[in-house]
Structure formats: C-alpha cells, structure tokens
Amino acid sequence: MAEYNLDHDKLKKLETYIDNLQEKEGALINILHEAQDIFGYLSKDVQLFIARKCGIPAAKVFGVVTFYSYFTMEPRGKHVVNICMGTACFVKGADKILAEFKRLLDIKEGNMSEDGMFTIDTLRCVGACGLAPVVIVDGKVYGRVKVEDVEGIIKEYKQD
Amino acid sequence: MVKYRMDLLVCGGTGCQASGSSEVVETFKKEIEKEGLENEIQVITTGCFGFCEKGPIVKISPDNVFYVEVTPEKAVRIVKEHIIKGRVVEDYLYKEPETKEVLHEQNEMPFYKKQLRIALRNCGFIDPENIYEYIAVDGYQALGKVLTEMTPEKVIEEIKRSGLRGRGGGGFPTGVKWEMTRKSKSNQKYVICNADEGDPGAFMDRSILEGDPHSVLEAMAICGYCIGADKGYIYIRAEYPLAIQRLRIAINQAYEFGLLGKNILGTGFNFDIDLKYGAGAFICGEETALINSIEGGRGEPTVKPPFPAQKGLWKQPTNINNVETFANICPILLKGADWFSSIGTEKSKGTKVFALAGKVNNVGLVEVPMGLTLREIIYELGGGIKGDKKFKAVQTGGPSGGCIPAQNLDTPIDYDTLTQIGSMMGSGGMIVMDEDDCMVNIAKFYLEFSCEESCGRCTACRVGNTRMLEILNEITEGKGTMEHLDELKELGQIIKDSSLCGLGQTSPNPVLSTMNFFWDEYVAHVKDKNCPAGVCTALLKYFILPDKCVGCTACAKVCPTNAISGEVRKTHIIDQEKCIKCGACMATCRFNAITRR
Amino acid sequence: MNMVNLTINGFKVSVPEGTSILDAAKKVNVHIPTLCYLDLHDIKMVNRTASCRVCVVEVEGRRNLAPACATEVTEGMVVKTDTLRAIKARRTMVELLLSDHPTDCLVCEKNTQCQLQKLAADLGVRKIRYKGKMSTYPKDSSSESIYRNLDKCIMCRRCETMCNEVQTCNVYSAVDRGFETVVSPAFGLPMIDTQCTFCGQCVAVCPTAALTQISHVAKVWEALSDPDKFVIVQTAPAIRVALGEKFGMEPGTIVTGKMVAALRRLGFDKVFDTDFAADVTILEEAHEFIDRLQNGGRLPILTSCCPSWVKFIEHQFPDLLDIPSTCKSPHIMFGTIAKTYLADKMGIDPEKIVVVSVMPCLAKKYEVVRPELQHEGKKNVDLVITTRELADMLLEAGIDFASLPDEDFDNPLGESTGASVIFGTTGGVIEAALRTAYEWLTNETLEDVEFHSVRGLDGLKEATVNINGEEIRIGVAHGLGNARKLLESIQKGESRYHAIEIMACPGGCIDGGGQPYHFGNLEIVKKRMEAIYTEDRNKKIRKSHENPEVLKMYKEYIGEVGGEKAHELLHTHYTKREKI
Amino acid sequence: MAGIKSLDELKALRDKHRESVLGRDTGDSENKIRITVGMATCGIASGARETINAIIDEVAKEHLMNVVVVQSGCLGYCYAEPTVEVRFPGKEAVLYGNIDAKRGRELVQRHIKNGEIQKDWIIEKTFNNI
C-alpha cells in the first residue's frame, strides 16, 4: 500500500471495512462515508484507493464525491461548525449567524481556519426547526442561537 | 355480556379532574342508580378529550351529544332531561364563541378536528429502542395478521380502499403503486423506504424514525409480502445520526426476534432490510435519483417511464414509499380501510403530519386530518404569529411548493386544494412568514436552494433556474425592470414544462406563486426600488430623524465609509451615495434617531 | 410484433411497440430537433440522457412536455410537435444553452460543423434573451491528441456514454452538480495523466467544440515553407475513402488519386503511403505469429497497429503485455523506414526529413511521442494531422479538390497491396495477415483471398481457417468494450483464439476519431467500408508478401523478416500503466 | 431471545408487556409510575439528555422503586422541549414542557413524591391518539 500517501493504519481500517462488506455492488456511498469518518476528508489518494479496491473507475468515484455535499476533499478543522440554512433557520436569521462565525473565525464557508481548529460549513435542514436557528459543532446541536452567542460557542471549543 | 343502551363518557383527563369531573361521575352514578337504570346506562371515565378548557366534558353515546363544563348540578339535570326524557339540554352544549351556534356533535367542534395521531401514534409514547414496548402497542400484529390471514391481493385491496396517498409529496395512491409493482414480473423485487427527507423545514420523517422505527420496518415487510420482494432498503440522510442509530437498533432487535430475516413468524416469508446513507443531495428524494444513489452513483434522475415499479433498483421492479406513508400502513390493516377513509376529505384520506416552523409561537409537529384549514393549524395549533406580528404567508411544499397568502387561510388543505392555489403538499413543511419577510427574498431563497441542489443534468433546470435566480438578484438589488418580471413568468412556466424531473418541474413554484399573490411587492422592488418588508439591503435607505437626533456623533464614528456628517449637538445627515447600508449607525444610536426605509 | 397506433400533428401512424415519439414522427415526415440524443445502433451506442430538452413535444393528457427521444409511444397517444408551447420551449432551451456558451462561432474549430449552431439556425434563434454567469474552465491541451474546452460543453453526455459504455475506458464522469456540472476525468486531471487511450471517439460524437483535436496544421505549414526541410507525407488507408466527404462528394467515394495530387500541390516533397508500411507490418506480424505457433509462444497473438488499443491494454490489463505482437504500428514503421532506409537511399540527412502523417486517428498524435518509438530522442514521425485537418489545409490553400486529376504515390514508399488497404477497416489487419500466414505456412497459393466472416460491423467476429490440417481460430474485436471482453476471457484462460485483431474505434480506422464527422449516420461508415474493399479488389497485388518494393527493402537494407535489424527498426515493447 | 415463531407467540408477548407500557389497569399493583422523556434530536439538543439523567439520578436518590424512566421519540412540541410525560397507573398522563435538569429534579420531588401536579409547566395536549 506504499503507493498511497496515506496513514497505514487508517488505510488498513478502511480496507477491512470494505473486505467485510457483504454487498459490494452499490456500496460506494457507504464506503465513502466510512472513509471520510476515518480520514476526515476524501483526498485524491483515498478516492483512488477505493476505486481500485472496488474496481470502480476513479472518474466515477470522483463524480460521486463531488455530487454529494456531505463529502469533502479538503482537510477539515479539528472542529466543524455547521450552520443550518434550512428555511426555518433562514427566516430566523441563520445568515446572520453564519456571517458572525465567518467574521470571528476570519474564514470563508467550507474553509479551515489557519490554526486548523475550525471549519465552517452550511447544511440544509437538520430537522430541528423548532430550535431555529441551529448550529451544530462536531455533532452537538445548539438551538435558538443568537448572534451574541457565537463568540461563546467558539470559546467552548478553542480551549482544547 | 351486558349491553347498555347508552354510555356516559366522562372525561377523566388531568384538566377535567382538576375542574371536578370525579364529582360529576359520582353524581351520574348516584342519579342513574336512583332511577334504576344502572343496567341500561353505563358511566365510563375516559382519557383526556383534549378540550380541558371547557371541562369537565361529558359525551353521551350513541346520541353523540357533547356537554361542556358539567357540574354535579348539571349532571342531575342531564340525567332527568336527556337520559330519561330524551331531550338534549341545549344550555349545556358547547357554543362556538364566534357564532354562538350550538354544536351537538363532538366532531363538529373545532378542537376535535385538530390533531389526530396515526403516523405519530407511538412517537413520544413508547421507547423506540425497546422492541417490547412496540410489541406491547400491537407492534408487528399487522404483519402477523397479513402473513397468516391475508393474501397479498387482499392487503393491496385494503390499502387501495383506504385511500392512502403517498406522503412524500406526489400524493400517488399507495395501493395502486403496490399493485403496479406486484404485477411486474421478476424473481427479484425491492422495497425502498425513502427517508431522505430533504425539504428544508420538514422533519416529520426524522421524528417517526427516531420515535417509532419499528412501525416503518413492519410496514416495509408487509409491502415486501404484497409485491413479492424479500429485500428492503432504507435510504436515510446522513444528517440524521440519531435516526440512523435508532433504526440500527430496531433492525437488530427485529432480526433477533425473528420479525425480520428468514421464515418470519413461522410463515415461510423472508424479508431483509439494509440501511443506505444519503450524502447531502436533496434531489435524491426523487425516486429515480434515489435508486441511482443506492446503486452507488450520482443521484441524477432518469426519465420516467419506465417507473421504478417496472424497472427500479438494479433494473428490478421496486416499490418506493416514504417514511410517513409506511407509518400509516399498520393502523390501516389493524383498524380497517373504512376507519381510515372516514378521516380526511373526499380525495385525501387520513391525516398528514406538518412541520410547523417559522414565525409561529408553537413550532412543532402536528398531525391533523386532511381538510383542516391553514388558519386552524397556524392559529390554533401553532398558537398564532410570534410577537403578535401580522401574518403574511405560509410556505408549504418546500422548494417545490408555493407561498399561500392570508386570503387562502381558510382553504381546507389536502393534496388537491394546495395544488389549486399554486402550492403543494410536499412532504409537509409549513413555514410561516410575517410582515418582516420579503416575499421576493423568500422566492430567491428557495430558488437558490433549487439551483444548488439541481443535479445539473438537464438544460431547463441547470441553466434555466440559474437565469431565473440571476433575474431575481437584479430585482432585489434594485436593477429590476418590468420586462424582467415578464421574463421570470415565462421562463418559470417553460422550466416547469420542460424539466426532466420533479425538482425542475416544480422549482419555479416559489417564484410563480409569490408573483401571483404578492405582485405588488415585486412591483415595489422594480418600480419604486423599495423593499416593503425592509429586507433587501440594496434597496434600503437609512435616514436620521432630525427631531430625535441629539448630535452625539456616535453614528458618524462607527460609520465605516464616513457617510455620516454633522456637527456636535446638531442634526447629522447620511450621504446616501456613500452609505453601504451596513446598519452600524442604527445599531449604535441610543436615541432611535435612525430609521430604515 | 405489437403495433401501436398514434397521431402526430394530426397524422395517424402505426409503429412497433417500444418506438420513441422521435422515430414515430420520422414516419410521418415530422422532424423533431435533437441535440443530446445520439443513436449509433450498429455499434450499440445510444445516448438517451434526455438532458438537453430540445426535443420536447406536447402529448395530450400529459401535464408537462415530453422528450421525444426518450418517450415511448403508447396506444392512442396524441402528439403535437408544432404547437407554440412546444416550439417556445424548444427555442428557450437552445437560448439557455447559448446563454452559457461562448458565441465565438466565427473563429470556432467547429464553425459550420457544430450541432448547436445548426440548431440555433434551424430554430430561428435571433436573440439570446438570457444573460448571466458563464461556465469557464481551464483549457486542457495536455495531451497530443484531445483538446478540451469545456466552456463549450453543453452536458449532452455523449462523450461519457461513448467512453464509459462503448469503449469502457471510464475516463469521464459528470462531476459537481447544478450549474457547475461538467464532464471531467477523475480529479479534474489533465488528459495526459489519465487512462485515456486517445481513441478520439468522444471527439467524434461531441456536438460542439468542447472536444476537438490538438491541431498540427500550423506546424505542417511551417515545415512546408522551410526550404531546409525535406517534407514527406504518408496517408493512412482510411483517409482515401473519407476525405471526399469534406468536399461534398458522396460518402464512400475513393479519392486516392486526387488526394495524392492535392498533397503534392500543398508542397510535400514526397507523397507516400502508409500502406507500404502496413505490408511490412504484415510480414513482421505473420512471421511473429508463425514463430509463436511453431515454437510454443504465448497465444493468442494480438495485433498492435492501433496505438489507442495498445494504451488500453497497458492501463487495463498490464498483466497481459506479453501477448500483443511487438510490431510497431504501420505509421511509426513508416517513419522509421523514412528516416533510415529512405534517407539512406536518397542520400538525405535524416535530420532534415520531416515526416507528416495523415491519419484518421487522434491516438496517432499521441503515439509519436512515446519514448520507445523514438530514435535517439528524435521522433520518427514528426507531425500528425487528421483527415479533417488535411481538408482544412486544402480549403485554406484554395485547392479545388473535386476537379483535381488522379495522381500516383511516389516511389518507393508509395507501393502497396490490397492487403494493406484493408487495414483501414475492422477485420482488415487479420485478413491481410491470414493471406500471408496461410501461404507461408502451407507453401500453397491462396486463391480466394477474401475472408468474409471477419468483415462487417458486428462487435465481435471470428473465423476458422484450416492450415495444414490445423484449425486456426481468429477473433476480431473493434470498439474497446468488445476488446475488453476478449481480454477478460484471455485473462481467465478461456480464450480459444490463436490470433486476434483489435481496433479501438468501432468500425476500425474508417470511423476513427480524426475522420469527417458523421454525427450518428453510420450509413456513411458502412460506405467507407465498402469503398475500402473495392480499393482492395482493384489492386493487382493483394498480398503483402508480394509487395515488390517491400521485398526490395528487405533485400537491400533490413535483411530477414523478423531478423536482428528488423527487430531494431520495426519492433517495440510495452509499458505497464496505472488505472486512473 | 430465540425469535418469535408464530403469531400466537407474538400476541402472548404483547399481552405480557401491554400493561406495563399502557399502564391503564389500576388493579395491577405491579404497575409503576412512568416518566417518559422525549429524546428526539430536538429534545436532546434542548437538553433532554441532561434532564433524563437528572430525573434518573433523583429517582435513584429517593429510592423510588415504583418509578420507571423511559426515553421516547418526539411529541411534536418542539417549542417546549425538553418535554416530559408523567403517567401514574390508571390516570391520564400529564405532559410537561421546558423541563430542564433542575425542573426534572423538582418534578420528581413534587409530582412523583408528593403528587402535586405542576400546573405551570403543563402543556396542553392537542392531539388524539388512535
């Protein structure tokens, strides 16, 4: 596996996952989810490895990765801030929350902060509309977020 | 078995007990005994009728008469008049506040038309991670009944007779869909549960999966039995980790209990269910796109026909229903098609779950019989508009739907009426907008969504929607013309007409419906270069009110472009040319001297 | 067959079940415009993405418009193609496409050949009402063969269908989504870094100039005008049966003589024929085949004249690289011979010789830079132009092609046989090889030189020839998807063949990626094929080993067929390549 | 669990568990007080996990052996999350809204231990269940 510029243990883990799949046909998206969980993002080498391992054309893997917004080819920060931009959140000012995160972290949507601590992303409706506007950091949901709250949320994660 | 000629149902709910229902029960029992009718009349304490405000409540069956605020004294008179003489005591009946009209029957009363939980029946009631609890509430009984007592044809007939239509948006009759898939000949067929709830602002499927996952598994197995499939997939959004976790637990338990897998309940029927994850693509809610995604490809839709019922997953006949549709199956089979079809409107049977969000007080999920009006949902269940603002519109059907204005608040909603007023049932998202929402901006929001979520395959959607969005941008930036408005309408119509899949065919709806109902607002943006709701930044102007400005210079100091000038203690003024409309001055002013128009 | 009755624009028509509205309309002389749709029935390639929406029509009872190309007729269907609603929608689709398309038609490679341009003209588009952002992408000229300008891509996906389903090269996929969607190789890699074989079939089916060739025309003009250069040209067999199309001649017209005359008028110092080298190829390949047959070498042997197919096996089946013949392709052999034997014979410094190839092929452009095919770092063939590029040059030079007299190729590298002519079509190489191998193995004269079972457009063909009592089984595949099937059976040890011919392009070189565009009309390809066989029949000598100039060359310069010098000059080796 | 082999077995299992879940039979002394905490995404995000932990802790602290604490899905009252339902055997359930951890503990003390319904925290159920 030396041909891939990837962590050996992680690659082994992914390989084991793929080997253990009962149904390989059509498993590409589940495999990509697993790979993104393991590596944090889907680099070219990860995609190539999956393509060759599963006998799927690399172009197809790339086509799939770029189609789904859940997959990313960029390294992600230690903490991923997801701002919900569903309608319910939008009408309750999610755009202002997003702007505040961008301002305080000084990065654009989809990018990672210079210190590698944060990535800001948006997503479409997590189905917690009752709590709009909603922010999710590393899977933890913050509801009814106000612009003033943003600084506090960032602080919570800056410490570690 | 004793048969009573009359039942007195006394509400024993918390509210009614607090207002003295137990005394009322005692009085009834005493009075009936006194009259020697205890073998004819039965007094029953029931669960909450849900109308606690007017408690204690008493219902007389089979007369279907409904008394409110019953006291022991009133009880005495009810026994004398109604039970003995057969005369309804009009004075004690419920009076609708506005009309003062006396209503006899429970189901005529507005409150009782409100929520009825079928799909959500177990949500919030049982522990979703404990299969015993699901079994305790008749879980897997419908599957058992179907496998042991009914032929697939009979089940399909029952579903058809119930009038159940797809809850994912299209509203296609579920039974007919099952029948089509059953009739397609193949050795391998599939059942797919569409749990890719992508509408921004809808979360009923998530709720069902998190609160009652077994009900979906059971219904899928029933569907498999009916169409002749032994394999099912649940295509679920990756954004729903909790739902995924609960589904996994439920599937494992069902296998362990022999309710999935081989030889279910000893009947020889086999059925497997696997999870497939979505990855953030709204278009995968479309059947053919979803199938492509399950096959591990890009979620691009393909031309229909052939329909999935003929050629679906791996080119085999496939039946796809969404979560809420499946959640309705078991009650229909246990309680019968007649029961189900007695609920709802003529062409839309049963209930629909709506996700009520936006500017309403009681944000949440409501499940109501078809045919309720928007007003009832928003004002009664939703508790009205937040902050006592003025209602402006309600958006239904997500990016495929439209905005419904105040004038249509009293439309009884079902699949067909919503389509008639230019919107859609969709998956049941209901976003309430108030006077602070700009309808042009809302239309833009939805179109932006459709543009981002377009698969990019067909010209109409890929390029057409982009061009529409660009025109809308011009309008919100004050560069719009009346020709733009005509262009929008025409292009929108053509995109609807020419797009390959449901996304494109409906994506112009938010624009077209807002243009239809809020034409003046569009004209204001174009002609007056004004955003009446004060949302479109480019069209806003900031002014300093001379009578309020004290000349503190605070605003001038924060203005990033030095657009504010004025001497100390004298009225300041904003140079409109320089102003970038950031609003910093307004936020700073402590004297409310800055206004935005 | 069940028939379905329907009405189109008021005309009643009855068509077999499964017919599309588009095809049904043709029966009543109603033409519905199409753009993304492409049906190459004979080679089993159908692009029915229904993505351009240019063919939408009204169907009574249907809420929205139906794509005629992808909607099957149903009993009693009432179709209207000429209503204002349908016409407006179709025109709007073209306008929308144009609003995201550069309008540099006048200077576009595809000017007058572009299907989008034609559609805009046919539909009377006079104004593009929509303006807005345009797709822009870096231009890809990384390879020697294919030029990609995705600004002009209209997402018809024909290239993707061709590459993935017919050729199974799997280079392309749609990537991204929404307005940003585009067809691209993995990771947006330049073509040179991919497993692309440069067959150019994507170029052949692209309706616009999103995919074209890397042009060598300017460099050819430059060489021709350089007095210090001795510029010679070779033409592949497939050129002579297609070039005429570019000058309004009937498909299948044989224009060998006019072509030679035209090339001379362009200023080439010598006009030669790749066919000469094709005969050499047959000698070497037949020798190699007989050697493997008699000395227990690995069989089947695979032909190696198609550079696209060679690259395919290098990427896709690197474990099978010992089975193709080691012969260089005819045009590279020609280049080598020109810069050695010919230079020697004519007393010209090889440094001064510029070898130009006119090829039906885009992979030939790539082939000439393969390091192992060069001699001491110098290319054996310097420039490659396609049939289309040659036609462009003739137009530019103002040569009235149709009225040119017939002229003959120059000597000695202009001499050829019927065997070499049929290299231009699928099955031709193996047929030519059989003609020679048979006689060499049996020492008998082959009376009937035509092997009809290896001819035609079937994707996989086979023949059995009895040679000295032994059944020699021959396989033919054209189109890389068909080739893949044969290779997989070889990999599994199931192949029964002794020799296999493979051509990357469906139909062989006559339908190469550099040929005049036929846009789905495979009748044109069939006529080119007929012409090739006619040319063969017209030849006095029809067996490669009877080519007198070839034999003379061996005698004077190379020595024995398959000998040491032959190996040095005429053979090559293959390289394992990655899948990407 | 060895797997249910017939519909009759399934029915038996249902009947066995029916009472404990539905809790409608007053006669059965084994029936317990059931505290249900809505644990859907909305609820958890609003602190339902903290609430349920606090309730479990408080119940344990008070050695209330007749109480079961269960999680459930969402009742739909998103505006009032976390929601907690208290059901005494044979009585109509009481639904509380906005129950944070602190209120959760108070609820155990006041409603469960002392039987005082906390009227201010009640949310009116607006639905009928089938």
pLDDT in tens, B156-210: 999 999 999 999 877 899 999 999 999 999 999 999 999 998 787 788 898 899 9
Beta bridge mates, B324: none
Q: Which residue of A has its CA nearest to C170?
A: A57
C203 and C329 belong to one structural domain = no
> Which CATH number is B541-596's, of 1.20.120.160, 3.40.50.1110, 3.30.70.20, 3.40.50.720?
3.30.70.20
Closest chain D residue by Cα to residue B207: D74
Q: pLDDT tier at D28 (50, 70, 90 boundaries)? A: very low
Contacts of C367 (CB under 8 A, 6+ apart): C307, C329, C331, C332, C373, C381, C384
**pLDDT per residue as tens digits for the range C561-575:** 999 999 999 999 999
Residues C177-189 have pLDDT tens digits of: 999 999 999 999 9
Query: In chain D, whose CA is at the least distance from the CA of B11?
Result: D92
Alpha-carbon distance A12 to nearest alpha carbon in chain B (angstroms): 22
Of the partner residues D44, D79, D117, the one whose CB lies closest to the CB of residue B363? D79
Q: What is the pLDDT of residues D57-113, one digit of tens each?
A: 999 999 988 898 999 988 888 888 899 999 887 777 889 999 999 999 999 999 999
Q: Is B209 on the interface with A (CB under 8 A)?
A: no
Whether A149 and A88 share a structural domain: yes
Question: Given pLDDT bands bounded at 50, 70 and 90, which one contains residue D27?
Answer: very low
Q: Is C495 helix (H, G, I), strand (E, B) or coil?
A: coil
- Top residue of A126, A131, A136, A149 to mutate, by most chain D CBs within 10 Å, is A131
Q: What is the share, in percent, of chain B residues with pLDDT greater than 70?
A: 93
Q: Give the contacts of B300 (CB within 8 A, at least 6 positions apart).
A: B283, B289, B292, B455, B456, B457, C174
- Mark the binding-site residues of A for [2Fe-2S] cluster, compressed into ranges: 84, 89, 125, 129
- The answer to whether the Cβ–Cβ distance between B358 and A85 falls below 8 Å is no
Q: Where are the domains of chain B?
A: 6-112, 131-335, 351-434, 439-526, 541-596
Give me the residue from A23, A29, A126 closest to B293, CB to CB. Answer: A29
Reference B141, options C508, A24, C356, D11; nearest CA is D11
Q: How confident is the model at residue A141 (pLDDT cuts 50, 70, 90)?
A: confident
Stretch (H or E) spanning D99: none
Asked if residue B473 lies in contact with residue B430, where contact means CB atoms within 8 angstroms, the answer is: no
Query: From the list C53, C155, C177, which residue is nearest B498 (CB)?
Result: C53
Q: Which residues contact C26 (CB under 8 A, 6 or more apart)?
A: none
Tell me the average pLDDT across B275-284.
92
Closest C-alpha among B401, B350, B368 to residue B513: B401
Mean pLDDT of B567-577: 89
How many helices (H) does chain A have, and how many strands (E)? 7, 4
pLDDT, residue B22, reads 78
Give the pLDDT of residue B45: 66
Question: Of C349, C333, C310, C340, nearest to C381 (Cα)?
Answer: C333
CA angle in degrees (0–180, nearest 5) for C379-C381-C383: 105
> Within a domain: residue A92?
yes
Q: Report the topology of domain B131-335.
A: Rossmann fold (3.40.50)
Residue C127 resides in a domain: no
Sign of the CA dihedral running C167, C169, C171, C175? positive
**Interchain CB contact of A27 with B (< 8 Å):** yes
Domains contained in chain A, number: 2
Instruction: Please report the sign of the dihedral spanned by the C-alpha atoms of residue C368, residue C372, residue C378, residue C380.
Output: negative
**Listed residue (D44, B124, D80, B211) closest to A141, CA to CA:** D44
Q: What is the overall mean pLDDT for chain C? A: 94
Contact between B276 and B258 under an 8 Å Cβ cutoff? The reply is no
Closest chain C CA to residue B299: C177
Kindly list the strands in the beta sheet with A118-123, ordered across the sheet, starting from the edge strand earlier in the chain: A118-123, A79-84, A135-137, A140-142
Q: Which two tokens stand for residue B380?
A: 């009664």
Same domain? For C295 and C430 the reply is yes
Taking alpha carbons only, the member of C427, C420, C532 closest to residue C482 is C427
3+ Cβ–Cβ pairs closer than 8 Å linking B and D: yes
Domain that holds residue A125: 79-158
Please name the residues between 22 and 81 in chain D that touch chain B, using a CB distance below 8 Å: 22, 36, 38-41, 44, 70-80
The three-state secondary structure class of C349 is coil
pLDDT at B79: 87
CATH class of the region D31-121:
alpha beta
Asked if B285 reaches chain A (Cβ–Cβ under 8 Å), the answer is no
- Fold adopted by B6-112: Glutaredoxin (3.40.30)
Question: CB–CB of B210 and D73 under 8 A?
Answer: yes
Which residues are within 8 A (CB) of C298 and not within 5 positions of it... i.e. 6 or more apart? C292, C322, C323
pLDDT of the residue at B16: 61
| Exposure class string for B470-503: b at 16+ Cβ within 10 A, else e | bbbbbbbebebeeebbebbeebbbbbbbbbbbbb
Tell me whether chains A and B touch (3+ CB pairs under 8 A). yes
C279-292 average pLDDT score: 94
Both C63 and C166 in a single domain?
Answer: no
CB burial of B570-589 (b: ≥16 within 10 Å; e: otherwise) equals eebebeeeebebeebbbeeb
For D46, the closest of A126, A127, A143 (CB atoms) is A143
| Amino acid identity for residue B218 in this structure | E
Q: How confident is the model at residue D22 (pLDDT cuts 50, 70, 90)?
A: low
Residues C194 and C258 in one domain: no
Task: Dump pLDDT digits (tens) for B343-369.
Answer: 888 889 999 999 888 888 888 889 999
Across B269-286, average pLDDT? 93
Return the residue in A84, A85, A98, A129 with the most chain B beta carbons within 10 A, the one to mutate for interface testing.
A129
Least confident of B42-56, B114-128, D11-25: B42-56
Q: Are residues C63 and C158 in the same domain?
A: no
The model's pLDDT over B10-31, given as tens digits with 9 standing for 90+, comes to 766 555 666 677 788 889 888 8
Query: ipTM score here?
Result: 0.90
Q: Is A26 in the same domain as A62? A: yes
Share of chain C above pLDDT 90, in %: 89
Residues C412, C357 share a domain: yes
Asked if residues C141 and C192 have their Cβ atoms less than 8 Å apart, the reply is no
Q: Check residue C404 and give its pLDDT.
A: 96
In this prediction, residue B51 carries a pLDDT of 57
- Most confident by average pLDDT, B475-479, D31-35, D89-93: B475-479
Average pLDDT over residues C332-361: 94
Q: How would residue B543 be classed by pLDDT, with cut points 50, 70 and 90?
A: confident
Domain termination site, one of C181, C214, C247 = C214
Residues of B in contact with D87 (CB under 8 A): none
Domain boundary residue among A67, A102, A118? A67
C-beta atoms of A127 and B240 within 8 A: yes
Cβ of D40 and B381 within 8 Å?
no
pLDDT at B111: 45
More reliable by pLDDT, B190 or A4: B190
Q: pLDDT value at position D29?
A: 42
Best of D50, D77, D78, D83 to mutate (most A CBs within 10 Å, chain A): D78
Angle at C466 between CA C462 and CA C467, to 5 degrees: 120
Chains C+A touching (3+ CB pairs under 8 Å):
yes
Instruction: Give the per-residue pLDDT at A143.
Output: 84
Give mean pLDDT, residues B35-47: 76
Q: Domain holding A132: CATH number?
A: 3.40.30.10
**Residue with tokens 């390879």, as numbered in its chain:** C143
Q: Is residue C123 part of a domain?
A: no
Tell me the angle at which helices B323-335 and B213-227 cross, rounded to the nearest 10 degrees.
Answer: 80
Q: Which residues of C are catalytic?
A: 285, 288, 305, 325, 364, 367, 372, 509
- The CATH number that applies at residue C52 is 3.10.20.740
Minimum distance, in Å, between the CA of residue A130 and any CA atom of chain D: 5
Q: Which chains touch A (3 or more CB pairs under 8 A)?
A: B, C, D
Quote the domain boundaries for residue C188. Answer: 135-214
Token digits of residue B382: 């939703």
| Chain B residues closer than 8 Å to C155 by CB | 456-457, 459, 462
Whole-number pLDDT of residue B6 = 79
What would the 3-class secondary structure string for B338-379 be?
HHHHCCECCCCECEEEEEEEECECCCEEEEEECCCEHHHHHH
In this predicted structure, what is the pLDDT of residue A144? 86
Chain centre to alpha carbon of residue B230: 31
Contact C52 B466 (CB under 8 A): no
Structure letter (DSSP) for residue C405: P
Which of C491, C500, C494 minimizes the C-alpha distance to C302? C500
3-state secondary structure of A151: helix
**Among chain C residues, CA nearest to B494:** C89
Segment A53-70, tens digit of pLDDT: 999 999 999 999 999 988
Q: Does residue C207 share a domain with residue C223?
A: no
> Given A38, A67, A96, which residue is the final one in a domain?
A67
% chain D with pLDDT above 70: 91
What is the Cα–Cα distance from C135 to C158, expressed in whole angstroms? 19
Of the candidates C544, C474, C452, the one whose C-alpha atom is nearest the C-alpha of residue C303 is C474
DSSP state of C150: G
D85 shares contact with chain A (CB less than 8 Å): no
Q: Which residues contact B471 (CB under 8 A, 6 or more apart)?
A: B480, B484, B487, B488, B491
- Chain B residues with beta carbon closer than 8 angstroms to that of A130: 357, 363-364
- Angle (CA) B276-B278-B284 rounded to 5° is 115
Does the beta-carbon distance from B202 to A26 stay under 8 Å? no
> Distance of CA A65 to CAs A58, B549, C92, C176, Å?
10, 56, 32, 8
A-side interface with C, Cβ within 8 Å? 44, 47-48, 51-52, 57-63, 66-67
Q: Is C107 contained in some domain?
A: no
Task: Name the residue type at position B573.
Answer: I
pLDDT tops 90 at residue C58? yes
Cβ <8 Å between C184 and A57: no
Annotated binding-site residue numbers of A? 84, 89, 125, 129
Nearest CA-CA distance, residue D41 and chain A, Å? 7
At which of C162, C182, C214 does a domain end? Answer: C214
For the record, the structure tokens of C121 come out as 């003209």
Same domain flag for C194 and C222: no
Cis peptide before B152 (omega within 30 of 0): no
What local confidence, expressed as pLDDT, does residue C520 receive?
83
Q: What residue in B sits closest to C70 (Cα-Cα)?
A: B303
A55, A101: one domain:
no
Least confident of A11-15, A72-76, B323-327: A72-76
Q: What are the tokens at D88?
A: 């005494």
What CATH number belongs to B439-526? 1.20.1440.230
| Residue C434 counted as domain residue | yes
Selected residue of C84, C129, C161, C179 to mutate for chain B interface (largest B Cβ count, 10 A): C179
| Residue C248, both tokens | 């309004």
Last residue of a domain, one of A67, A88, A117: A67
Tell me which residue in B281, B463, B499 faces C99 most closely, judged by beta carbons: B463
β-bridge partners, D34: D68, D87
Same domain? C443 vs C350: yes
Which range is most confident: A100-104, B75-79, B222-226, B540-544?
B222-226
d(CA B72, CA C278): 113
User: Which residue in D114, D103, D127 sits closest to D37, CA to CA?
Assistant: D103
Cα separation, C99 vs C135, in Å, equals 10
Do residue A150 and residue A97 come from a single domain? yes
The label of the residue with tokens 């008049």 reads B81
Would residue C332 count as lying in a domain? Answer: yes
Contact predicate C347/C331, CB 8 Å: no
Q: Find tokens 């429970």 and name the residue.
A: B106
Residue B200, classed as helix, strand or coil, is: coil
Measured between its terminal Cα atoms, the distance across chain D in Å is 30
pLDDT tens digit sequence for C477-526: 999 999 999 999 999 999 889 999 999 999 999 999 999 999 888 899 99
- Say whether pLDDT at B94 is over 80: no
Could you tell me which residue, C230 or D43, shows the higher pLDDT? C230
Give the start-end residues of each E strand in C480-548.
Answer: 499-503
Domains identified in chain C, total number: 3
Contact C170 A63 (CB under 8 A): no
Q: What are phi and psi of C18, to 5 degrees?
A: 90, -5
Q: Could you say which of C165, C188, C214 is where a domain stops?
A: C214
> Could you tell me if B375 and B411 are in contact, meaning their C-beta atoms sit under 8 angstroms apart?
no
